[in-house]
Amino acid sequence: MKITVFGSGYVGLVTGTCLAKVGNHVVCVDIDEEKIARLREGRSPIFEPGLENLLVDNIRAGRLEFTSDFARGVEHGLFQFIAVGTPPDEDGSADLQHVLAVARTIGQHMEDYRIIVNKSTVPVGTAVRVREAAQQELDQRGKRIEFDVVSNPEFLKEGAAIEDFMKPDRIIIGTDNPRTTELLRILYAPFNRNRERVIPMDVRSAELTKYAANAMLATKISFMNELANMAERLGADIENVRIGIGADPRIGYHFIYPGCGYGGSCFPKDVKALTRTADTIGYRAELLQAVENVNNRQKAALFHKIQSHFGNKLAGRTFALWGLAFKPNTDDMRDAPSRALMEALWEAGASVRAYDPVAMDEARRIYGEQPALTLCDSPADALAQADALVVVTEWNEFRSPDFDHVKSALKAPVVFDGRNIYNPGHMLEMGFQYYPMGRPTGSPRKA
């Protein structure tokens, strides 16, 4: 099939590359000429395991092309995927200007039947606005051309996006036209072989399903962080609590790990947008507001632990940070807990020595020549003469470090663990002052 994808960011690039992998001819359209040139060379602008190899393979096979020519994109594909960003507006609502601009572009160049597939995360009712925007352009041209608008939300986890697309747990197709549903079934047939994954529904329900999924996962995280804060004050161990409640199949173990807050491109933005959607219909979404409030508070938890340990005397101190990305296997630092922590430390007069396996370039892009930030070449380098180690992202390479080296490199054996990746008992036995999230702490044993 011939497919056009508007937007070559995270969702658009993964979608286009994976659809090309199964034999489709995909053209990705983007306004960023520099990005297009990079992609034509097979260089991905984002870090995602396995993506760049797939990108190169599909380009060489002639199944994947990149262009800034919008007219060519509209001419090429029966399926016109919209996969552009919907950043939060000042009031927290999703900014649809890029989505609607693509819809207008399709209307300006459409010459025969097209299926406009909205892959971007958008509020309920966006499909109607997309249809109106495209139709308005057709009316101005005096053209009567049939087209359909479909909601087909993505459920890709950063760090596992290729696997999620190739082996999806569900494929939501929101459309009011049964014929369009069948065409989408054919498109997704290669990803739907061993069991039925397609879930057809009306457009509005599909739009809400995406927000509901992310809001539910964010709720689980904030709930566990709330329990972790209580456990600290009650003398309980949140890890035991996690195992105890996760054994209940109605709850399960997914997304019940406490930590220093969620971040990334989806959860913060989508919880805000869904809350704003509730406001527009006169409904007060108290639970969603609480989820966001708890997360904002949790992002400050590590700083408060550090502040308490050092008696509010942070000026002139240096802290080693392991992990900058909001989670492992990505370079995404949008709304990352590391940013909240570093900015609070800088404001208090401290400096940071940071290391992340893949997010160093992103940190340079965000902070430039920040004098209080040193980006280090290795975890060991970050430790040099730091007053304490702070673990912010649970990368595998941080899980079993040389603790003897950690202890000798730091000015004092102090570790703040924002992801609970170490055993409190072992840390105390090795002589560390150890501060996890929601777990017992104590003084190290004397030798």
Task: Provide the Cα torsion 327, 292, 242, 389; round to 10°.
Answer: 50
Q: CB-based contacts of 108: which residues, under 8 Å, 6+ apart?
A: 74, 137, 141
Q: Record the tokens describing residue 183, joined without a space.
A: 């065409």
18 assigned to active site: no
Of 173, 156, 194, nearest in space to 79 by CA: 173
Task: Return the ∠ at Cα 240 (arms to 222 and 439), rounded to 5°.
Answer: 70
Of 217, 146, 205, nearest in space to 173 by CA: 205
Pick the catalytic residue from 18, 28, 260, 266.
Answer: 266
Task: Return the ∠ at Cα 257 (arms to 256 and 258), rounded to 5°.
Answer: 110
Residue for token digits 């958008």?
A: 122
- How many Å apart are CA 150 and CA 173, to the nearest integer? 7
Task: For the beta carbon of residue 220, count every other beta carbon within 10 angstroms.
Answer: 17
Dihedral over Cα of 165, 171, 174, 176: its sign: positive
Of 130, 142, 26, nearest in space to 84 by CA: 130
- How many Å apart are CA 273 and CA 389, to the nearest integer? 35
Task: Return the ∠ at Cα 49 (arms to 396 and 292), rounded to 5°.
Answer: 70
Give helix 267-280 / helix 203-234 axis angle, nearest 10°: 120
The answer to whether the beta carbons of residues 44 and 28 sit under 8 Å apart is no
- Strand, coil or helix: 33: helix
User: What is the identity of the amino acid at 375?
Assistant: L
The answer to whether the beta carbons of residues 414 and 433 sit under 8 Å apart is yes
Q: Record the tokens describing residue 364, joined without a space.
A: 């340079």
Active site residues: 266
